[in-house]
Structures are given as C-alpha cells and as structure tokens.
Amino acid sequence: MNKKLDDEYYQLLEQIQAADFVLVELTLYLDTHPNDQQALQQFNQFHEYSQQLKSVFEPKYGPLLGFGNSPGGENKWEWGQGPWPWQV
Amino acid sequence: MTREKTFTLVKSYKPFHSKFDPCPPIGRKYYRTPPNLYINFQPPNMEQFTPEEALKYGTLWKFFYDFYDNPYRERET
C-alpha cells in the first residue's frame, strides 16, 4: 500500500516546496508592488515551473491537493493513502 | 566601555541595577532590530536567494534575512 519513498521523492518534494515558497514571497511582494513587471514575470515563470514539478510528482507519488485540485489516481482512490508530507 | 561605531542590528543598553535587587544582574541587555525597520518601502529588483536558500532562510530577499544568535550565551557557564 505504501508509496515507495526514494531519493527522487524527497528531491522533487523539496523542489516543489522551494518553488512554492518563492511564489508565496512574490505574492506578498506583488500585493504591494502590483506594477513590477519583472516580479510578475518571475511569478508566472515560477508558477509554470511549480505546475511542471507537480505534474511529474503526482502521477508517481500520489495527489498533493485534495477536493479535485489534483487527479484522484489511475484506477484506485489514492488520496487516503499515506505517508503524508508531514510524516516524511 | 567603548561604544561600537559600526552599524549593527543588535542593540544593547545597561539597565539600572539596585544593590537591593535579589537577583544577580544580567548587566548589559540586548535586543535585535529586524532589517525591515531600516527600509521604508521595498524597492524593486532587490538581490534574491535561490529558491532552495530562500526556503531555508525564510525569505526570498537577502536584505531581509536576519540571523539570530543568543547574545547571552557566554553567561551560561
């Protein structure tokens, strides 16, 4: 039942975490600097990058987001299966 | 006692210590001022960390990174 947690799992998870953190920071920045085109560009670039990482991660290790924001799994329901990110 | 001339985020002061104070004095007290106090409005295009570093340091911009070190540690002996 358990997913296989190889090195790639941790690597990808860290990259996703890092990319999403950049997005958090840029969101806060853009809230106060909505006209900074360069930051906006960087935001979109990291959004793209984050999506790309997640599209690699999810088919391999299961969904990251619930309630229809991630695919549910090929032929069985994967959402209820651990380990969850805070357990790894 | 000479006062440091260079700029530092760690400020200190010496509180009055009464001779009737039952506790031994800490002496010099320290407090830290975060870097964002010294910037009025964040200018665009500040120097950034790489995403991995940003995650580790807790901020994307190098200017806002503030390292905490316990200034009282040498008293712990």
B63: contact with A, CB 8 A cutoff: no
**Residue A81, both tokens:** 């299966």
Q: Record the pTM.
A: 0.79
* B61 neighbourhood in chain A, CB within 8 Å: 25
3-state secondary structure of A43: helix
* A36 neighbourhood in chain B, CB within 8 Å: 44
Which among A17, A26, A36 has CB closest to B55? A17
* B59 neighbourhood in chain A, CB within 8 Å: 25
Q: How far is B26 from chain A (nearest CA, A)?
A: 38
Pairing of strands B10-13, B29-32: antiparallel
Q: How many residues does chain B have?
A: 77
A59: preceding bond cis by omega (within 30 degrees): no
* A38 neighbourhood in chain B, CB within 8 Å: 44-45
Contact between chains at B51 and A36 (C-beta distance less than 8 A): no
- DSSP alpha helix (H) spans, A33-83: 37-61
Q: Can you tell me the ipTM of this complex? A: 0.71
Residue pointed to by tokens 């909505």? A34
Domain positions in chain A are 7-30+42-58
Q: How far is A87 from chain B (nearest CA, A)?
A: 19
Cβ neighbourhood burial of A18 (10 Å; 0-12, 13-18, 19+): buried
| Whether B12 contacts B48, CB under 8 Å | no
Q: Mind listing the pLDDT tens digit of every residue in chain A (88 residues)?
A: 456 788 889 999 999 999 999 999 999 999 999 999 999 999 999 999 999 999 999 888 888 888 888 887 778 888 887 787 788 7
Helix pair A37-61, A7-32: axis angle to 10 deg: 150
Q: For residue range B14-27, list pLDDT tens digits in order.
A: 989 888 989 888 88
Least Cα distance to A57 among A17, A87, A21 occurs for A17
